[in-house]
Amino acid sequence: MAEISVKRLKTSLPICKIHRPFVGSRVKQNLPAVVEESLCGVSTMLMEIAYRLDALANIFEQDDIALPRVAAFFHEHSAQEQAQAEAMLDYLSDRGGQYCNKDIQRPGCEEVCAVIPALELMLGHWKEEMAVMVELSQLSKEHSDPHSASVVKSRFLGPLVPRVKLLGDLLTNAHRVGCTIDRSGGFGEYLINQLQEELTNVTSG
């Protein structure tokens, strides 16, 4: 039986506008269409963030910047974002939902060439991601899908809290040691790359 059409509510969630629910799924139970569309859209958002962080990592690997621990830090968190995207896709599949393949947007961070603006961009993404996960959890509750609400809160929202704190600390230290906001660089970038515990743990772990 075809799924009842649900009026789409105004939301800031990256809902998949081309989504077509998988009507014939035998495992789908109590997965509202708007939640399925949101899970699909948020999965794509996570992939785009992973792509952007990987692009930032590649910038810091260039020979005219050469900050290998900073690059490794961005690579590490890019991999974590990709893993989160895949985990959300797995959850969507487990609930009988369907993912719509879409083109991933270009990173758009080619002009970033210093530690501080890169960290600020990363922090902005994580704050946006936190807001999206809060709204997705709330949306699931409002549409009588407590399971999705719980999974989003514990599996996807929870890990973001210490990440945002980590980025705030890194930015504070980057400003403290005199990192620049352009390609000129200086001793501050060297100190961050060599001594910052959060970065050295990435390459030694």
Quote the distance between the C-alpha of residue 27 and its chain's center: 28
Backbone angles phi, psi at 201, to 5 degrees: -65, -25
Report the Cα–Cα distance between both ends of the chain, in Å, rounded.
52
Residue 81 assigned as binding residue: yes
| DSSP-assigned states of every residue in the chain | -PPPP-PPPP--S---TT----TT-SS--S--HHHHHHHHHHHHHHHHHHHHHHHHHHHHTSTTT--HHHHHHHHHHHHHHHHHHHHHHHHHHHTT--PPP-PPPP---TT--SHHHHHHHHHHHHHHHHHHHHHHHHHHHHTT-HHHHHHIIIIIITTHHHHHHHHHHHHHHHHHTT--SSTT--HHHHHHHHH-HHHHHHHH-
Q: How far apart are CA 190 and CA 186, in angstroms?
A: 7
Annotated binding site for Fe cation: 81
Annotated binding site: 81
